[in-house]
Amino acid sequence: MESRIKQLREKRGLIQEILAAELGITQQLLSKYERDITLIKVDILKKIAIYFNVTTDYLLGISDVKRDLQGQMKMNETLDQYYDLVEVYKELDEYDQEMIWSIIQIVKKINEKKKIEQKRVD
């Protein structure tokens, strides 16, 4: 069974090195967590749950409910914040949507590289 951590990471388009840096752990340790080779420490489990806005029970496979009420409320606030942007995006034709998506992916990769470089400097 594929790790929920890996599923969430891939859904966001993150590589292990980026997520590991965000969590303050090594890429090797994250890989072990994703493959269920090493037991995950409670403090790291909490960090991952906060990062992905899911419950620890969801990460551990105890529950299929991703978010508790507080998490769902946070998600709704985020959706409200970007609602107008989504509405404009929906009105674009498919070509323009793909172009916007490509630009977002390029900017995302640039920011990921900056974060990696910054972590190496620190």
Could you state, in order of their start, the residue ranges of all structural domains in the chain?
Answer: 4-91
Query: Amino acid letter at 1?
Result: M
**H or E segment and range at residue 112:** helix 94-121
- The Cα–Cα gap between 108 and 68 comes to 28
Top-level CATH class of 4-91?
A: mainly alpha
Q: What are phi and psi of 39, to 5 degrees?
A: -70, 135
pLDDT of residue 117: 85
- Ranges under pLDDT 70 in the chain: 1-2
pLDDT of residue 110: 93
- Give the CA radius of gyration of the chain: 17
pLDDT of residue 102: 92
- The Cα–Cα gap between 4 and 9 comes to 8
